[in-house]
Structure 1
């Protein structure tokens, strides 16, 4: 079985295992959200139910208290009225001597008994029951005496004073009833105040608790989404070496595993692309070298003297072969970077002499375009891989030459601080479009302003130059444009930070 088939089998097995785990654990992002809402809302629902029950109990108690208060007040007035009626009937019978007038007394007595019985059916306090019992007993005693003397009206005069005490007892019962009603009202107010206090404390306790639960579930929900977003962003930026792991609900875990499978597939495709570039670049470099050498021989007249037209054609062949060779070298350098083969071999080097060598290599194309070079480059010694620095400068200079119009001026100057060497190069072209500033160093990106020529760039020069600068501990940046042209700045450490030179 081949390595590719084995990897495919493992990926298929991993996918199948993920499916089985998801079936065994049917957790989902939706269930997590519903659980979060349930746990956040449950305390509030319980508090609402409890408060509703408390309010219902308070309302029921209030309703009963109001009904009883009304009944007691009405019955107390009825008792007082019946006592007054009985007293009046006895007085009239005594004064007029007409025993038939006692019929009103007996009717009032029956109503008094009925009203007292209805009061006993209410939920009276002990004090009220005691007063009502005494009142009923006193009235019954008077009734017995009236019944015994109903045939002797003149003797009823001795019973009239008994009604005064009976009226006082009725007033005392009514007064106590009103006092107890006021006490009931106070108790209801206390109950209402306690209910408000309870509701307030429940809100003060439950709202932070609900907020804390909501925050906890928000973090739990947001974490896997943030992990997925970071994984997608890393893959978009070409960072394929970091394993993707997503926590949380099972469906998001499975989604993270599929993203990691995609990452591994992209990593294999990237390796295949790198190997392809290496093979194609090597295959192209050999015949191109022969073409370049042949063009050199023709231009030098080794095979015979050439006419002016033939020399011009030979120079075109030579110039384009040099351009193609640089593009192929860019591909090789990029392949080496991708394969992590770009190890640095550092030694002391003169940055100005490296720049002079690069200018000499590109002298022919500089002269053919009639470009002027303004140099201000004092000698600066740095610890570096001279070959890689030469590639950096060659890419920066070729970029400036390519975008400068014929007869334009390219300015290059160097400077240094206590720790860094700095090289600035400004061409005379149209500059970098604002939309391209963030992407100009990306591999294979050529920007909006691509020149028409027989040999177009690969879009790798600036990317390779920056990677080599970063490998040295420096950087290349595009300086904001003030006038015309593009302004690139290379910074490099003077001493190798890995060796700690003084």
Structure 2
């Protein structure tokens, strides 16, 4: 079986690759170990050399100080500090150099530390403030402190430490070189084995696959040209023979099917003409219905965003507020109202999905326009405060301006306009709402001092998914549905909506609705 032989070949290649990877990992780990130990030995060697050099420089300084009295004490302090720093670095490197806490390396460092401590005391005591000569025995005691400590010859101890770590550094460097050489040889051998095995497998499988593959390709081309009499002629139990037998069987069935299909073709041609006209009409109806459904769902999704924005704004203000019970209670009340509006939008979506309708149903009754405006302003007040924008009602008519409207839908249209005004304003901006009534009917006007819209953009502002340049620059995530929704709602109430640029900047949105109450 070709499949079994392929599996064996790939398994061998995978095994060799795994062995090569494992050995490479081991070689890298070994090299890293030797490199680390070489670095530690080199740093210990440098520490001991620095310590020995600083001691020698301190000895020279002491002799100059005692003979001439002109040596700078700052040099002495700096050399002593440098020696202690070298001791500290040696102590940090000890855990990396040997595992025994009481090993010879630890003892050597502690002996050096005791010597430096004794040397420091001796030098400071001998350096008299009056600068006078010191007795010969004091001179010998200080000089002896440079070279001996507790009966140990510090020169010999430092020299042995330097030689020991120099040898260790050379030894680890040589071990690192050997490990890298072994790794190169082993990797080369394994890579060569993988290449040879892969070449052997390629040659073998090319030879084993070429003939049956050529036969299968020939019969496939013949079948593709429509010659259903073609046969592969393959026999056996391998995969190619099985495929050839299946192709031969399929060719026979295709020949039978071709005869039957010729008879069916004539009947199908007659049916296709009739069905095409019906399908075309149904398809056009479905496209129209789908377009209306998508528009309805997009607008409903836009409506769901406003209550969610109000809930978040109220929650943020409550969290940042003073914590007064009345303030929190009012915020929670407004959150509940926004949640009820959100639930109403969700119910409408569910009813629309259940009933298959793609339009809003209005419940018209007489409502005071000022009350609708006050409710919309209160609903968006938290959003305005959260964004640092002043939102206020500028003026209301002396009498009740009554309109025949669906209160929720009319409030929704006003909230959409307020949300647009607040969304594109910077902190410190201002939005004002004015309610009035004249001979044309009742009206509401929303003024803002935001970026506004260019004159050439006003004609397209009410088209779905259109957004002005300033709006795109300030908020790239908008959908461009707000004004389209507001116009549909106002038009459903028999009113109109218009946009007027303000000077020096800003935009005025004005609703005009027929005054009066339903009969």
TM-score range, shorter chain: 0.3 to 0.5
State the TM-score, normalizing by the size of structure 1: 0.37
State the TM-score, normalizing by the size of structure 2: 0.36
